[in-house]
Amino acid sequence: MLLKTTLRTAQRFSSSLQGHSRAMSVAFVAVLSGFAVAAFGVAPLLPDPAELPQRVVLETITPAGLHGQLDALAEQELELSRSALTQSGDTVGSLLRRLGVNDAGAAAFLSTDPQARRLLEGRGGKMVQARVRTNGTLVELVARSAAADDVQRRPRFARQTISQVDGQWRSQVELRPLVAQTRLSSGTIRSSLFAATDEARIPDAVAVQVAEIFATDIDFHRELRKGDTFSVVYEALVADGEPVAWGASSGRVLSAEFVNAGKVHQAMWFADATSGKGAYFGFNGESKNRAFLASPLEFSRVTSGFAMRFHPLLQTMRRHLGVDYGAPSGTPVRSVGEGTIEFAGWQNGYGNVVEVRHANERTTLYAHLSQIDVRKGQGVEQGQRLGTVGATGWATGPHLHFEFRVNGQHQDPLTVAKASETLSIDSTMRPRFNEQARSIKAQLELAQTMVGARQAIE
């Protein structure tokens, strides 16, 4: 401050010196130089702040009106939020007890109102959330459950809200769209695929899709190895921000990587921008979808392969000309490829049988069915339901006997699917495919760092 004041004085004085002799100007500059030296010479003489004396002051501070604040807080009506899933055989009383509700009026409404009673109708698994006062009375109850998709095939859920309006209980049902969240996860095989996906908190429906995607690359019944790893990017469906608990709990797998015995297998979902139809492709542009599925069941275990075996009924060694899959009665059986139903009916020891004729003199046979859902001459698509697993004919228990023939000769079904033809990305779609592949690779790399974990991308 001293220096600034001096400079301003000097400027005014300098202007008054204009027209005087050069000697006076030189003398004045010398005087200012002395001030500058003095200004810079004083600063080092200031005391070091660390050496200044310090004093600790302790003082009790009481917030103003503390008792009043506590009284106001005590007057507030607190609410608790609890959630539960409906169970088979639930009653109004059992459900409300699990939710911590003790409200005779609400219980009576849920028991007598026709729309409110739908809460406990049908299968269990509905997501129920209740807001309850500290005395147990109900403020609001919201139940979310599956609903039929809309005309554009967008998945929806039903939101049922039970609350009081003008002192009277009301029930309102709305149909709302399920929202898809992209999630990343990864895991390591220790015993089985489903054990590893459970450990990684991946829904079973996603695990089934992963097995389907790589079914022609990996035999999950015989080739799975301890230490194999996988990463997956998939859609999780949520209702009002909450993951749904019913069957459609997950959407499509968007991309996946499976490392089996050191070999890396990768796939991504790619859809046509115009039609919306899509399929799984490797990052090289080759389709993972082949002319034939690897199995007529979504996921099961092979109980008898294409080889010599001891026949359980005939008690002799005979060549087994197909593959047997162990599965519970009623499990859906699907066509492994597009074709036409050549036979649907009873065939002696095979029991209920469906036979499908495919292109290039190839046929498939599905035996011991408990139910047949197609008729002779009907066209079927790949993956279409033909019937259900059973134990008809010569069978010691429920299972599916499956055969594959080429020009009338039996072939090993487990090798035919791997050798069947594939498709490739059209050259006109290759730029968009490559751009999407780069983005998906980055997501998979992130998923690989999340062994046993899960992350949602908003």
Is 442 domain-assigned? yes
Is residue 208 located within the same domain as residue 153? no
Residue 314 has pLDDT above 50, yes or no: no
Is residue 277 located within the same domain as residue 216? yes
Boundary of a domain, candidates 151, 177, 203: 177
In angstroms, how far is CA 394 from the centroid of its own chain? 42
Residue 30 has pLDDT above 70, yes or no: no
- What are the tens digits of pLDDT across the range 264-280? 999 999 987 776 778 89
Is residue 383 located within the same domain as residue 308? yes
**In this predicted model, which residue has the larger pLDDT, 95 or 219?**
95
Best CA proximity match to 342, nearest among 363, 322, 370, 360: 363
Model confidence at 152, pLDDT cuts 50, 70, 90, reads low
- Whether 139 and 78 have beta carbons less than 8 Å apart is answered as no
- What are the tens digits of pLDDT across the range 322-345? 888 888 899 999 999 999 999 999
Is residue 414 located within the same domain as residue 322? yes
Is residue 329 located within the same domain as residue 414? yes
CATH value at residue 171:
3.10.450.350
Kindly state the average pLDDT of the residues 174-195: 90
Kindly state the average pLDDT of the residues 372-378: 96
- Whether 357 and 397 have beta carbons less than 8 Å apart is answered as no
- Whether 345 and 352 have beta carbons less than 8 Å apart is answered as yes
Boundary of a domain, candidates 153, 177, 201: 177
Q: In what helix (H) or strand (E) does residue 73 lie, and over which residues does it extend?
A: helix 66-75
Give exposure, 381-405, as e/b (b: 16+ Cβ within 10 Å): ebebebbbbbebbbbeebbbbbbbb
Is residue 230 located within the same domain as residue 157? no
Model confidence at 456, pLDDT cuts 50, 70, 90, reads low
Is residue 249 located within the same domain as residue 279? yes
Is 333 domain-assigned? yes
Is residue 258 located within the same domain as residue 366? no
Tokens linked to 76: 């507030």
- What are the tens digits of pLDDT across the range 40-96? 444 445 566 667 777 787 877 766 677 777 777 677 778 889 999 999 889 999 999
Residue 148 has pLDDT above 90, yes or no: no
Is residue 171 located within the same domain as residue 188? no
In angstroms, how far is CA 331 from the centroid of its own chain? 25
pLDDT value of residue 20 = 46
Q: How do 332-334 and 385-389 pair as beta strands?
A: antiparallel
pLDDT value of residue 123 = 81
Question: Collapsing DSSP states into helix, strand and coil, what is residue 456?
Answer: strand
pLDDT value of residue 419 = 64
Q: Render 369-437 in DSSP notation, one character per residue.
A: EEEE---TT-EE-TT-EEEEEB--SS-SSSEEEEEEEETTEEE-HHHHHHHS-EEE--GGGHHHHHHHH
Is residue 258 located within the same domain as residue 344? no
Is 32 domain-assigned? no
Is 187 domain-assigned? yes
Residue 315 has pLDDT above 70, yes or no: no
Is 414 domain-assigned? yes
- What's the rounded Cα separation, in Å, for the pair 93 and 352? 47
The strand pairing partners of 409, in sequence order, are 406
Boundary of a domain, candidates 158, 177, 196: 177
pLDDT value of residue 240 = 87
Considering its fold, how many domains does the chain have in total?
3
Has this prediction a pTM greater than 0.75? no
Is 335 domain-assigned? yes
pLDDT value of residue 339 = 94
Kindly state the average pLDDT of the residues 31-47: 45
Best CA proximity match to 369, nearest among 353, 346, 385: 353
Is residue 193 located within the same domain as residue 240? yes
Domain enclosing residue 248, as ranges: 180-291+435-457
Is 63 domain-assigned? no
Is residue 168 located within the same domain as residue 94? yes
- What are the tens digits of pLDDT across the range 99-117? 999 999 999 999 999 999 9
- Whether 122 and 88 have beta carbons less than 8 Å apart is answered as no
Mean pLDDT of the chain: 80
Is 21 domain-assigned? no
CATH value at residue 368:
2.70.70.10
